[in-house]
Structure 1
């Protein structure tokens, strides 16, 4: 089992996966929002970034067709997903519904 699969299936806390690419301008736009969310949520949420250019298998497995795409996993199940940029307040509100 890959480190990625192990993390999203076995983490005690939800895992927010940010599928991005270095060349993607919207990905750069949402990056500060994701860093801020991670700081606010602390240990209640894990955040990992997955470079779409280097991880085609994960892109195919989770049917990521555009970037940025955010997927929230908990114990291997997808709790929420979104493609595109969201304002920080909206993302925080959505994530708070899924995090204790």
Structure 2
């Protein structure tokens, strides 16, 4: 009878062979991570949101303060021009100045 009991482990091996059907569903559960990858792919737009504030408003804000700086003071009024050259003095022996 004891050898027959030894044959029982073979029957125990059959139940162990049965779990493979159960092993098939886990791959389906493994496919769920693919669904999880889609949500991970969705956050990608978030960098776009981060780029919009950095790309547009910040430079504009930086430019506004620069434009708001007071204008340079106006150029001072030009110095008065020197008086026109006085009438040429008649030199002795020279032709009289034109009139």
Structure 1 or 2: more helix by fraction: 2
Greater gyration radius:
2
Query: Whose strand proportion is higher, 1 or 2?
Result: 1
The TM-score, its normalising length taken from structure 2, stands at: 0.18
- Structure of greater relative contact order (alpha carbons < 8 Å, 6+ residues apart): 1
